[in-house]
């Protein structure tokens, strides 16, 4: 069962992260949808997530939605070596992990900028994106 990563489609950091993840997930286990898309909005609503003030990625796996550092660390388990080695960081208390995560999230537009529109995937990766 593929994981679905909901990301901020106008955030340059998030778009860069998606472009970084794709080659590190050679089996195509991770699919993508921007939070601004109809698909992203529907999936978020289905899992009770309000996207109006959301400053995190959402990773949906096996019917459960994960956010912030939980999502990022679970995502690492699907990537090629050495990234799964980060998964044991889940032993660090969530309030510490999320404090770091949200610090970056709060500053992502200032540090990395934002786009006027969501990224368009390369044709070779179209099937990995849920919105067309």
Per-residue pLDDT of the chain (132 residues; tens, 9 = 90+): 789 999 988 888 999 999 999 999 999 999 999 998 999 999 999 999 988 777 889 999 999 999 999 999 999 999 999 999 999 999 999 999 999 999 999 999 899 888 876 666 666 677 888 875
Confidence at residue 88, expressed as pLDDT on a 0 to 100 scale: 93
Confidence at residue 101, expressed as pLDDT on a 0 to 100 scale: 94
Match 């529109």 to its residue by tokens: 117
Confidence at residue 73, expressed as pLDDT on a 0 to 100 scale: 96
Confidence at residue 125, expressed as pLDDT on a 0 to 100 scale: 74
Confidence at residue 5, expressed as pLDDT on a 0 to 100 scale: 97
| Distance from C-alpha of 103 to C-alpha of 66, rounded to nearest angstrom | 18
β-sheet bridge partners, residue 6: 33, 58
CA atoms lying within 13 Å on the CB side of residue 51: 22
The 8-class DSSP code of residue 90 comes to G
Q: 130 Cβ partners below 8 Å, 6+ apart? A: 4, 31, 32, 33, 37, 39, 40, 43
| Distance from C-alpha of 84 to C-alpha of 44, rounded to nearest angstrom | 26
Confidence at residue 45, expressed as pLDDT on a 0 to 100 scale: 92
**Residue 43: both structure tokens together:** 């999936």
């Amino acid at each position: 069962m593929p994981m679905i990563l909901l990301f901020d489609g106008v955030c340059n950091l998030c778009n860069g992260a998606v472009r970084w993840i794709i080659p590190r997930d050679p089996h195509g286990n991770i699919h993508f949808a921007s939070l601004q898309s109809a698909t992203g909005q529907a999936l978020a609503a289905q899992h009770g997530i309000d996207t109006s003030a959301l400053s995190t990625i959402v990773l949906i796996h096996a019917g459960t939605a994960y956010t912030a550092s939980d999502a990022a660390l679970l995502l690492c388990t699907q990537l090629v070596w050495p990234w799964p080695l980060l998964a044991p960081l889940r032993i660090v208390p969530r309030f510490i992990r999320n404090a770091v995560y949200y610090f970056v999230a709060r500053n992502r537009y200032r540090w990395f900028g934002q786009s006027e529109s969501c990224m368009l995937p390369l044709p070779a990766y179209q099937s990995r994106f849920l919105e067309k």
